[in-house]
A = this chain, B = another copy of it.
Amino acid sequence: MNEPTSPRPRQVCVVVTARPSYSRVKTALAAIAAHPDLELHLVVAASALLDRYGSVIDQIEADGFPIAAHVHMVVEGENPTSMAKTTGLGLLELATTFDHLEPDVVVTVADRFETIATAVAASFMNIPLAHVQGGEVSGNIDEKVRHAITKLADVHFVATELAGERVVRMGEDPATVHVTGCPSVDLAMAARDGSRLSFDPTEEYGGVGADIDLDQPYVIVLQHPVTTERDDAKAQVEATLHAITDSGHQALWFWPNVDAGSDATSRGIRAFRETHEPGRIRFFKNLSPAHFLELLIHSAAIVGNSSVAIRECAYLGVPAVNIGTRQGGRERGANVVDVGHDATEIRAAVDAQVARGRTAPDPLYGKGDAGLRIAELLAEVPLSIEKRLAY
């Protein structure tokens, strides 16, 4: 305190808009909060505030992060029009929030559609923007959003070498591109320590469907609707339901997030349950990220189209059956097998992957120090809003 030159810590505003985004930055948040030259302002927004998508906000508070602002911005409807309106409302609200917080840098996470509101508000307000997890390839609206944010961002924290190369090829200054690994792998590494499950998901979260014997092998299912394939969402979820039911495996099935088409997914599940006897499946709404990771680590395989299967499971070595186009183009470790939306094909892949067992850890998406590296970089890198295409 006595040093005459000790400057004000950098004010870092991180905007979290959804449950998975929180998992993707949790270790970075902790490292920012702990860093002497940084001050954390956590903004919780959009579906992260909504009860019916799981109380992320409760988890955040339980994890001890003070919340600087709550930004309600989800316009109901869950269709492409309401996605646009949610983003428009978010832009109105986040401008007010940034006006009030006056951060030195804003951090936006990944590629959910509404995160472009964070990126536009910060860049229009001349606040340097840092982007976590650019440079990946996945198709769909996420693809457009992710790269558009890269072009609005001033600092880039990417998960893989290849992602970093792509960001540079898009014309960003290499000095602003940092390969940090993905903070979600930090969490997976920490969760790995437990030798057995510390909780029973049915006791903790209820859920509906079959009783699960956690001493027996089980698979995890997570299948999100694909925004450009909305009309197929119902059929797609039914194919997976058939495959899992027919396979006879025990399954913990997690409910989709708020997005255009998720109502169709819900309807698909409901419709199936009315006409079929679903197999040994139990459906859950949302678990805490920590609990989810525990279940994943002890699972026999993960099935669906979640990026968790590609990203965290690379390092964890959990066999993954990736269905459909949603993760197309994303780099994969040896743990992944790709299939289409076909019940027979899915079932065969699930059987094979469960039989095969764990693969070797692959540091493709990081080695567990991503959060720390992001915080250090946020404290050190020059913050500028001036940039220009490098070619």
Contacts and interface: CB of A to CB of B under 8 A. Distances in A.
B386 A228 contact: yes
Given A51-B263, A88-B95, A151-B150, A116 B126 contact: no
Given A91-B87, A123-B141, A141-B123, A389 B166 contact: yes
A87 B87 CA distance: 10
A100 B263 CA distance: 23
Nearest to A71: B96
A120 interface: yes
Nearest to A84: B95
A116 B120 contact: yes
Nearest to A119: B148
Contact of A166 (B126, B227, B386, B391): B391
Stoichiometry, copies per complex: 4
A84 B121 contact: yes
The 9 closest A-B pairs by CB, nearest first: A88-B91, A84-B95, A88-B92, A147-B151, A74-B76, A148-B148, A148-B151, A84-B124, A80-B125
A329 interface: yes
A139 to B, nearest CB: 5
Nearest to A146: B151
Contact of A385 (B148, B228, B274): B228
A35 B333 CA distance: 51
A169 B137 CA distance: 16
A179 interface: no
A144 B123 contact: yes
29 contacts: A49-B77, A73-B75, A74-B75, A75-B89, A76-B76, A81-B98, A81-B99, A85-B89, A87-B91, A88-B91, A88-B93, A89-B89, A120-B120, A123-B141, A124-B141, A137-B389, A139-B386, A143-B387, A143-B389, A144-B151, A144-B387, A145-B152, A150-B151, A166-B389, A166-B391, A169-B169, A170-B171, A206-B274, A329-B388
A228 B126 contact: yes
A291 interface: no
A110 to B, nearest CB: 15
A306 to B, nearest CB: 19
Given A75-B75, A144-B387, 12 more contacts: A73-B75, A80-B125, A83-B124, A84-B124, A88-B95, A119-B148, A120-B120, A139-B388, A143-B387, A145-B152, A166-B389, A170-B389
B391 A120 contact: no
Contacts of A84: 91-92, 94-95, 120-121, 124-125
Contacts of A74: 75-77
A1 to B, nearest CB: 27
B137 A144 contact: no
A289 interface: no
Nearest to A50: B76
Interface string A52-84: 000000000000000000101111111011111
Given A88-B92, A144-B123, A152-B144, A82 B72 contact: yes
Contacts of A209: none
Contacts of A93: 88, 92, 96
A272 interface: no
